[in-house]
Chains A and B, each alone.
Chain A
Amino acid sequence: MTAEPAVEALYQACALSMIRVAFVMLDDLPAAEDVVQEAFCSLYRRWDHLDDADSAMRYLRVSVLNGCRSVLRRRAVRRRVLLASQPTAVSAEAVVLDGEEREEVARAVGRLPVRQREAVVLRYYLDLSDEQIGQVMGIRPGTVRSTAHRALEALGRALKETS
């Protein structure tokens, strides 16, 4: 299959889940859409160098995570520039719909360090195995387990403090 229809088909199949992953990571829908769009464009440019559908999927996940990291890094710089970093407002409607506790957990996930947040999102949203998460994050499965463990500990502590 040539690049364009193949990438289009992949976009139809998994753009939504990729945007959702980026949204959980960034808490900013336009930025999440941009990251995913950029990842698909990059996949399209690299299509001829990829071996199979699996490697395309892996490439996509890595691109999305890298894109999220770039956005978070830029945000950190902006904060240093004193560009009036505004915390993302959570709508009252969303709070009611999702429930207080879920909202609290989601906020705690958003406060985790980037690597821990990535491990948690890949594990509990995309249901990837530790090996797959390791491939996407470029770390060993053992490190994935310890990172996720530390993330859960931090979340447990954060939720205890707020309750």
Chain B
Amino acid sequence: MKKLLIYLKDYKKESVLGPLFKLLEASFELFIPLVVASMIDKGIPAGDKGYIWQMCLVMAALGLIGLVCAVTAQYFAAKAAVGFATKLRHGLFAHIQSLSFSQMDKEGTSTLITRMTSDINQVQSGVNLVLRLFLRSPFIVFGAMIMAFTVDVKAALVFVVVIPVLSVIVFGIMLISIPLFKKVQGGLDRVLGITRENLTGVRVIRAFGEEEGEIRKFDQETDALKHMQMVAARISALMNPLTYVVINAGLVALIYVGALRVEAGILSQGQVVALVNYMSQILVELIKLANLIITVTKAVACGNRIQSVFEIPAGMESPEYGSAKEITQTGTVEFDHVCLRYHKGGEQALTDIHFKAHRGETIGVIGGTGSGKSSLVHLIPRFYDVEKGSVKVDGQDVREIPLEVLRGKIGIVMQKAVLFQGTIRENLLWGNENATDEELWEALRTAQAEEFVLQKEKGLDEKIEQEGRNLSGGQKQRLSIARALVKKPEILIMDDSASALDYATDAALRKSIKSMPGKTTVFIVSQRASSLLHADQIIVLDDGEAAGMGTHDELLAGCQVYQEIYYSQFEKKQESGAK
């Protein structure tokens, strides 16, 4: 949480002035018992109505000044808190954007989204409350004590006993109950988990007739949750009664000591009333403080969750611009004995991959599930860093090319076609902001998407809903291919991105990509051997290792893994030997 406070630094003025005005308001409040006391001691015995009027006017004036101070304080506090949250949100968003693929994989997007939204909101209200109230309550508590000292030192000693006892109770209960509340939150998470699981898996659960078992499991979880809630509640239920006892015991003691002091002629009756009033002020503040502490602990917990995101070091280091050397071999991709491991201690995802792709070549990558096909092509735009060896693009190690430059050369179409809310045009422009309509249509034509876009009522300006819900899987894939083509990349990577297309469209797509002007180096990852037949080079992966490399004919003759894949898909034509 602490490190987040740097986002407050632009609001130094507000974060100081807010509490300051709040303190001002509180101090005016502290004068009230004194005013009442002098009314009782001076005005009433003398029957001086004028004096009483005067004192009441003073009280009303104090109230009014208090109001002005409070409003000012609220304004500054709100401004600082909202500004803080805005800056924090900006900072966090930018930071998350800088995270690398492997870090995103590890964190998971859904938690990051919660941090960005509800956690930051919690922190915002926490900061707001702290600025407004957190100083006020202790100030009134101690202020009341100090004021009591100005009335009478000996009687004020009661406060000196009461306040530490109170703090022990308040903070003690808090310290015990915070971990308990955390446990409650955990229990709630499990209830949430099982509910969601039952919704997503409803078909499987019903297919196995497991409804009753699931209800039993849910009952157990809610029982556990209730139990945790009760334990936590039992502890915090002590807070009010205990503080009440302590404060009022203090009150009794105060009256007793006060009576003794009055007898000794040191205190007046009005002063005793003032002391009693200070004691009740403390009571009121403490109740507020206790409620506040709960909100603040929640905010701190959320703040810590946010901070833990900030503590993930920003992605990968990108070399400075200008450090890029002169390019000699445009469009080449070279893997030099590359090994990749996603987690330390985990299995190697790629082992000793070594090949070179020349400009304009088509490279096919084929292999089983989990054999490392995606991993291999993800290394080219440096989504991940290699463990050993090096990946070279344009003859240069990717780690020596600024990320933006590197990724600018490469158009990649991911396995899962992702489109964004907005028009088709806006989505395509991601590839190149300055592309003309002419260029967009050309890309659509190549991606076999021209026809269906033309059929749309508004053509390029047709709206795409969130996650492309109003498009079919094949349409989304073709649009995401077109988006990559708009970029006119030197290197085009298609990561199994034609899986939702029927075979005829797939074939047409490959043909049109092949005939694109300019010499683009193309990587095609596929499970269909038919998609790769005509590649200049096919890399056959098996469990992260290259089981074979070469043209279709070479592999069919000499690579067992490739033969297995190929014949599994072309059983019928085995004898005739398809070419």
- Chains A and B bind each other: no
